[in-house]
Structure 1
Amino acid sequence: MENSKKPQTSKLWHWLKTSITARLLMVGFLVVVLLIPLSYINSLITERSIRQKDVVNEINDKWGQNVLVYGPILKIPYKTYTETKTYNEKTETYFKETQTHINYAYIFPETLHLDSNVTSKTLNRGNFESAVYTTQMTFNGEFSPIQLQQKNIKHEDIVWDKATIIIKTSNLKGIKSEVNLTLNNQTYSFSTNFNNDNQRYSERLDELESVYINENHLPKNSNKQFRFNLNYNGSKDIQIIPIGKTTTMTMTSNWPDPSFVGNFLPNSDTKKITKKGFKADWQVLHINRAFSQQYLNKIPNLNQFSFGTKFMVMVDEYQKSERSAKYGFLVIGLTFLVFFLIQTLSKITIHPFQYLMIGLALVMFYTLLVSISEHGTFLKAYLIAGISVVLLISWYSKSILGALKFPLFIGLSLTALYTFIYVIIQLESYALLVGSVGLFVILASVMFVSRKIDWDNN
């Protein structure tokens, strides 16, 4: 039995050594096999990324979530009447009964200005960190005289002594000071309104409501100025809804990489972004947004009209690692192609096991990248993982290929390939262009080198 197996094994090995077709099939099979550990590495990156998001959400939940706020809004109660007829059987007549109901009118301010000073920092838990901030927000503006007659509400039906002011906001947990509003030089305190019938129309926003406003301080016949402060611990983003007929906002921060989000962008002429932070100004007019200055009974959901700034890292280490791992098939395939061309042109024999060892070394690059990036920057991890793998494969190829020129060529090729992939990862707008040009150059190089191969020897 042993004698019968030996010739078959020798014949198979001789075919792998001498046939170009056999070597191509073997290399292709090993590339497919190595996709299995690559898929596990992608799963590992996804798992660590999800873990990071869970930790970040936990940190943000304890520190304070995102801030979305709009106000102040005058809440004016008014009377409405319904008339019912009741039939009296004894007298065989109808008598009328009038019932009084209390509804509310919501009045937005004529002008609204916000100054927001944001101080950002990072909080760490283990290997994970989250960007959080503390913001001091100062609102001021004025209400124009209340005119409800156009809504068919009579002046005598308005309950002036029960009027209040409300502020809609998220992140009640993050508010770090008492909320007091000054209206017509009189200060009014706020409390959380847990009996808000309109809560479902504001989604996740909670409501702060003031004590009753002195009737003499209400804008009945003249404009009334207001001012109040909100101090938050928050994360992710800060946004407001432009409920003023003219709404302006100025935001300053030490955050160097802001992302301006929402329905309106800041003024490009005054926007300044440096490594030490940014300053941005917004101006929104009532003709720029599709909602009214007055509402009866309920306030509709206006969240779609919000705007502001996002304070999150747009591309984190795990996103970069995931993008890098997507090129794993390309790295393994091109590296095997280099070895195949060297083997074919120089007639040097490379065993399938040696191909497998080289492929596993290439796969190890991604595990090193993910693990090291959790303890430092992505660039540092990429350099350490890349240099380690390039040196390892170059040293290993020296024992396989013998001559020094081949390991040097392989080392330079891998260095160029990893550099090319790193550049693509860093680019956003030009990633597709640079990637396409790079792959074209690689293909042209392979075509140029492979023209000398005698493909008839298969």
Structure 2
Amino acid sequence: MEHQTINKNDNNKFSTWLKNSITARMAMMGLLILLLMIPLTLIQKLIKEREYRQQGVIEDINDGWGNSILVYGPILKVPYKTYEETVKYDAETNNTFKEKRTIVKYAFFFPKSLNFDTNVKASPKKRNNFESAVFTTTIATSGSFDIPDFSSKSIAPENIVWEKATLLIKTTNLKGLKSEVALNINGNTYGFETNFSVTNSYKNSLDELESSFIALKDVPTTSEQAFNFSLQYNGSESIKFIPIGKVTDVKMVSDWNDPSHIGNFITQNENATEDGGFEANWRILNTNRPFSQQSFNTLPNLNEFAFGTKFIIPLDEYQKSERAAKYGFLVIGLTFLVFFLIQTLSNINIHPFQYLMIGIALVMFYTLLISISEHSSFLKAYFIAGVAVIVMITLYSKSILRYWKFPLFIGVSLTALYGFIFVIIQLESYALLVGSVGLFVILGLVMFVSRKIDWGFDADQPKGFNENQSQLDTDTPVNS
């Protein structure tokens, strides 16, 4: 009986301490917030899993429609002869002799001028709840070849096989190519076929298209030769070029309103069009890039010098949900802080279990947001999930705080907090600035509201302590 009485007294002391000690309530809140980080972390992992699934669906959409485009060319390919002498031994005559062998190699010459005039019609393409940016494009190409220069390799004119010269075009996304490739030079048209000997099986690898032999009169042996051709693609994600011209000019016009220009070279200028799209121009000189206008034996890998435009959907539903979930710690912490201030200022007791229920309701916001956004827009999902959680917590607060004054204040505070986070999620360039200013304002409000809280330090001061006396007077002698 005595043992039960002691336990009961201990429990009463603990409850009284938890009820009356601000430090205890703060510690309890901190532990609950840490505990709620576990389901919040699991929700963030769930968002990642759904996002990976979305990427898989987008890849399927792009594979069916057409992948990203990287194109450069035409390149003049001219064979030339070199000779190799080897010394051989004849066992029958016991003599050595020289054997001369002809080896055919190739020289590759880039255009003197190269112009890409690109028109892009882009649109979002959906499958189930997932969305990708796809487009159709026409790339009108023109330019000219200068007279090839073999002098750097000391190749004699009679060893150049002009009659077997061809043209090359390097490109990705052959599956998305929707037009015959036909190049016009000097009034004659040359078709192209895939060079299977160098074709790579990777999705975004560069395939090689090669023309038939060019008529000798169309080869720039004595004077500059102009050319033009056009390519039509179904594509997705991006369009990129490699500046192989001595002067490369690219013009791109599109109705897509969220372009992202990528690569090693920036636009010379960019303007918005009347339909909400853009018009961008690039000009790259041979002095702007670290490779020459010709290559002998093999073509170098020039992919790192690509530039162009990526057609992006700025923030999809999962990216927005992920950004919202990253503010989960802030939402839970600030909501608990509001309840803590109300509890401290009004002397209304709130049990740790009630804090836990409020925290779980705040976590449920994100599961509602993810599930609803998969079947609707992010705005509708955010609104529905936000209203549901705010109403639930407000009504639950009424049962805890008794009067409507405090629950209504909590509802308004949560509405302002969720609205503030929604604004941050929508912003891109100014998200950090707006978030920092908002948190500064919130900190100022908390400091203002909490300035009159009695933190209980006076109770810990020793009896007889004079608050007007900053230190003991050590110079006063002690009476014996």
- TM-score class, shorter-chain normalisation, is over 0.9
* Aligned mates of 2:140, 2:433 — CA distance in 1: 46
Opposite residue 196 of structure 2, the aligned amino acid is F
How does 1:153-168 map onto structure 2 within 5 Å? Answer: 153-168=155-170
**In the TM superposition, what whole-angstrom CA distance separates every residue of 1:253-301 from its partner, at most 9, and x where no partner exists?**
1111111111112222x53356631111211111111111111011111
Unaligned runs of 5+ in 2: 461-480
The superposition leaves residues 296-326 of structure 1 with CA deviations (integer Å, 9 ceiling, x where unpaired) of 0111111111111101223222112111111
Unaligned stretches of 5+ residues in structure 1? none
Matched, 1:140 2:148: no
Moved more, 394-403 or 145-154: 145-154
Change (3 A) 1:285 1:337: same
Amino acid at match of 1:351: H
Question: Is 2:264 the counterpart of 1:267?
Answer: no
CA displacement at 1:3 relative to structure 2: 5.5
Query: What's the counterpart of residue 38 of structure 1?
Result: 40
Report what 1:408 is aligned to. Answer: 408
- State the one-letter code of the partner of 1:217: D
SS, match of residue 446 in structure 1: helix
2:82 maps to: 80
Which whole-Å deviations, capped at 9, do the CAs of 1:165-192 have from their partners, x for residues lacking one?
Answer: 1110111111112111111111111111
Q: CA deviation at 1:377?
A: 2.7
Partner of 1:240: 241
Q: Which amino acid in 1 is paired with 2:256? A: W
SS state of the match for residue 96, structure 1? strand
User: How much does 1:420 deviate?
Assistant: 2.2
Q: Distance in 1 between matches of 2:349 and 2:149?
A: 93
* Corresponding residue for residue 333 of structure 1: 333
Please tell me whether residue 59 in structure 1 is matched to residue 57 in structure 2: no
* 1:126 counterpart (119, 124, 128): 128
Report the residue type matching 2:372 in the other structure.
I
Contact 1:149–1:155 (Cα < 8 Å) also in 2 = no
Output the CA distance in 2 between the equivalents of 1:273 and 1:23.
59
Moved more, 433-442 or 135-144: 433-442
Q: Distance in 2 between matches of 1:443 and 1:48?
A: 35
Partner Cα distance (1:21, 1:255) in 2: 56
Partner residue in 2 for 1:217: 218
2:468 counterpart residue number? none
**Distance verdict in 2 for CA 1:255–1:140, change over 3 Å:** same
**1:254 — aligned with what?**
255
* Alpha-carbon separation, structure 1, partners of 2:93 and 2:31: 101
Contact 1:256 1:273 (C-alpha < 8 Å) held by counterparts: no
**In 2, Cα distance between equivalents of 1:433 and 1:40:** 29
Give the 3-state SS of the residue equivalent to 2:57 in structure 1: helix
Q: How far off its partner does 1:92 sit?
A: 5.0
Partners of 1:256 and 1:274 within 8 A in 2: no
Equivalent runs, 1:294-443 vs 2, <5 Å: 294-443=294-443
* Residue number in structure 1 paired with 2:97: 95
Measured in 2, the distance between the counterparts of 1:352 and 1:88 equals 101
What's the TM-score, normalizing by structure 2?
0.90
CA shift, 1:9, in A, is 4.2
Fraction of identical pairs, as percent: 59
TM-score (norm 1): 0.94
The one-letter amino acid of 1:155's match is P
For 2:474, the equivalent position in structure 1 comes to none
Instruction: Tell me how far 1:372 sits from its aligned partner.
Output: 2.1
Equivalent residues of 1:63, 1:234 under 8 A apart = yes
Q: Alignment partner for residue 16 of structure 1, among 15, 18, 22?
A: 18
Matched to 1:205, the amino acid is L
Contact preservation (8 Å) 1:271, 1:281: no
- Give yes or no for contact 1:146–1:219 (8 Å, CA) kept in 2: yes
> Alpha carbons of 1:274 and 1:439: their partners in 2 closer, same or farther (altered >3 Å)?
farther
Deviations, residues 38-63 of structure 1 (Å, cap 9, x unaligned): 11111111111111111101111111
Secondary structure of the residue aligned to 2:376 is coil
Query: What code does the residue aligned with 2:113 have?
Result: T
- What RMSD, in angstroms, separates the aligned Cα atoms of the two structures? 2.1
- Match of 2:356, as an amino acid? L
Q: Which residue of 2 aligns with 1:175?
A: 177
Q: 2:135 & 2:86 partners in 1: Cα distance?
A: 57
Structure 2 CA distance for aligned equivalents of residues 20 and 89 of structure 1:
106
Letter in 2 for 1:118: V
Match of 1:193 among 172, 192, 195: 195
Greater displacement, 63-72 / 311-320 = 311-320
The offset of 1:15, in angstroms, is 3.0
Q: Secondary structure at the match of 1:209?
A: strand
> Which letter does structure 1 place at the counterpart of 2:360?
L
How far apart are the structure 1 equivalents of 2:197 and 2:366? 54
